[in-house]
Structure 1
Amino acid sequence: MKLTDKLSFDHEDRRDLYEYVESHGTVKRKEVEQALKMDPRAVRHHVAILKRDGYLTDDDGVLKVAFEDEGAAEEHVSDEVEFVIRQAHQSDLSGLIGAIRHVADEGTYIEAEEVADILDHEEVLLRHNELESRMFFVATVDEDVVGWVHIRVPELEKLHHTAELTVGVLAEYRDHDVGSHLLERGVNWAKQNGYEKLYNSVPATNEGAIKFLEKHGWETEAVREAHYKIDDDYVDEVMMAVSL
């Protein structure tokens, strides 16, 4: 299922079941039966239809939303560093939040702080419901998350051609092309899903991020003066975007 797909259910119980799984990330079928007070046979029936229609996957009784890029993983080697770029799994949650927090603690990526706060609150990585949709890809070294790219899709119909992208890499991996491969994966995903424009905002003090995005074709659309207050200093917000 793609994030651009409209959700459509012909049975209220199937909608409830999907929404429960979507809001929890990964759940056991038994948990769904208990939480929704559904007969096990009815749950199996609804799961089978949701699986057939591409909404859910069922791995020996473990349910999760069926996102279309689940199996695609890319292996890379750069300057003797081996890393993998793949779609994030729910099991990556704590490692991903940790990586985002490390980057955000540098004080120059406010959008990353917001992403980490949302993940901490919701405890779910990938979302696709009637109010919000988001996708994460991660870079891993020996299964440890060292970077991410996050695409958030506005639900307002007039903005459906756009998406917000954030990308970050732990400091020790920034000279190994990890960020470039993550950004490429996120941009390619957005293109394949029909988005026409990506945007991102960073403080003007984050010169490294601005140069990185410019190197990959992003342009500054606007600057909001004194938009951030970092360590008692007022800092401009640089609003950047790229057309796909």
Structure 2
Amino acid sequence: MIIRPIEINDAEEFLELNRRIDESGFMLHEPGERKTTVEQQKQAIERISFEERSALFVAELDKSLAGFIAVFGGKMKRDQHSAYLALGVHDAFHGRGIATKLIKYVFEWAEETGISRLELTVIKDNVKAINLYEKMGFRVEGEKVHSLMIDGSPANEYYMYKLV
């Protein structure tokens, strides 16, 4: 497996990866909701590549994109030490340690970049993800009550953080 920064020529495959991950029901986008075009995705990849404290890394396995981790760093003096994470792994590649490797990669990147706080939100019912994040040293910081509507019902999310 190779973990690397995303490239513009990954845009189409990255979009398909995201659409597949959205099908899990545990991401912010509803299944089928993502309407991003390949051109819009290329522009987003280009934009993030110019941000000093943000990055998008992909896991490549068997010449296919298997997962990703996006890091969105703070832009103001008061929050530039922190970054928000979004993580997703294609269901066909679950159980291979991809998420763990992506998170470890970001830990190293964060230290090199001067980021000392990583944070994320996770749907409270996503027990597998919560267990992974806790194994990686993240702690629940709080709960966002009724932060999402899933299939017409309110769902809560946990705020989680890790100091690196």
TM-score, normalised to structure 1, is 0.59
Per the alignment, residue 42 of structure 2 pairs with 123
Give the Cα separation in 1 of the matches to 2:60 and 2:92: 13
State whether structure 2 residue 16 is matched by structure 1 residue 94: no
Q: Deviations over 1:162-200 (max 9, x none)?
A: 011111111121211111111111121011111010000
Per the alignment, residue 104 of structure 1 pairs with 22
Amino acid aligned to 1:123: K
Per-residue deviation, 1:143: 2.2
Bigger fraction of residues in helix:
1
Per the alignment, residue 85 of structure 1 pairs with 3
Per the alignment, residue 188 of structure 1 pairs with 108
Per-residue deviation, 1:119: 8.0
Give the superposed CA RMSD: 2.3
Per the alignment, residue 123 of structure 2 pairs with 203
Amino acid aligned to 1:162: S
**Distance change (3 Å), C-alpha of 1:138 and 1:101:** same
Counting matched residue pairs gives 158
| Amino-acid identity (%) | 21
**Distance change (3 Å), C-alpha of 1:167 and 1:112:** farther
Per-residue deviation, 1:111: 7.3
Give the Cα separation in 2 of the matches to 1:219 and 1:119: 36
Per-residue deviation, 1:222: 0.6
TM-score, normalised to structure 2, is 0.86
Any runs of at least 4 consecutive aligned residues in structure 1 with deviations exceeding 4 A, and if so which?
116-120
Per the alignment, residue 137 of structure 2 pairs with 217
Give the Cα separation in 1 of the matches to 2:146 and 2:116: 29
Per-residue deviation, 1:123: 2.5
Give the Cα separation in 1 of the matches to 2:27 and 2:85: 13
Give the structure with higher Rg (CA).
Answer: 1
Where structure 2 has 5 or more consecutive residues not aligned to the other structure, the ranges are none
Amino acid aligned to 2:69: V
Amino acid aligned to 1:237: E
Give the Cα separation in 2 of the matches to 1:128 and 1:181: 24
Q: Which has the higher contact order (CA 8 A, sep 6+)?
A: 2
